[in-house]
């Protein structure tokens, strides 16, 4: 069995779609080397979206390592361990909620005054995980 340690380093906002309540996350993580993944999530279901992010990361890692471990069946078993998984899910969910609130603010804005500032705030949102 192969155990892969996965640590999420940072999450940033990519594109955002206020009408559909969707936001693209740029997820920076480390599994022995630094990598980046893009994932569009539903801001109206922050908890479910946060869990989906980790599920997709696990699936991607398994595919990467399964291809490099062809052959031995026992070696084909891969366990992905996410550092501080429960806390990571909560933090990502909070981050998605914050992005959703900013998109809601953009949608409800009916005057141009301050509109670009809200967009700039949304684009500058980021979540960084401290190294222990």
Rounded to whole angstroms, how far apart are CA atoms 34 and 8?
10
What is the reported pLDDT for 32?
87
Are 85 and 78 in contact, with CB atoms under 8 Å apart? no
The pTM of the full predicted model, rounded to 2 decimals, is: 0.86
**Smallest Cα–Cα separation from 92: which of 118, 128, 44, 56?**
128
- For the cut 80, the answer to whether the pLDDT of residue 67 exceeds it is no
Other Cβ atoms less than 10 A from the Cβ of 117: the count is 9
pLDDT range class, residue 71, cuts 50, 70, 90: low
Are 124 and 10 in contact, with CB atoms under 8 Å apart? no
What is the reported pLDDT for 70?
57
Tell which wins on pLDDT, 74 or 110. Answer: 110
User: Percent of the chain, pLDDT > 90?
Assistant: 57
């Amino acid at each position: 069995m192969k155990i892969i340690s996965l640590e999420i380093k940072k999450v940033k906002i990519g594109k955002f779609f206020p009408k559909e309540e969707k936001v693209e996350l740029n997820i920076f993580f480390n599994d022995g080397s630094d990598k980046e993944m893009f994932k569009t999530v539903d801001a109206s279901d922050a908890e479910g979206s946060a869990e989906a992010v980790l599920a997709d990361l696990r699936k991607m890692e398994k595919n990467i390592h399964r291809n490099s471990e062809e052959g031995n069946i026992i070696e084909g078993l891969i366990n992905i361990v996410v550092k501080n998984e429960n806390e990571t899910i909560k933090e990502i969910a909070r981050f998605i909620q914050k992005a959703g609130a900013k998109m809601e603010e953009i949608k409800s804005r009916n005057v141009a005054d301050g509109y670009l500032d809200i967009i700039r705030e949304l684009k500058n949102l980021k979540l960084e995980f401290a190294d222990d």
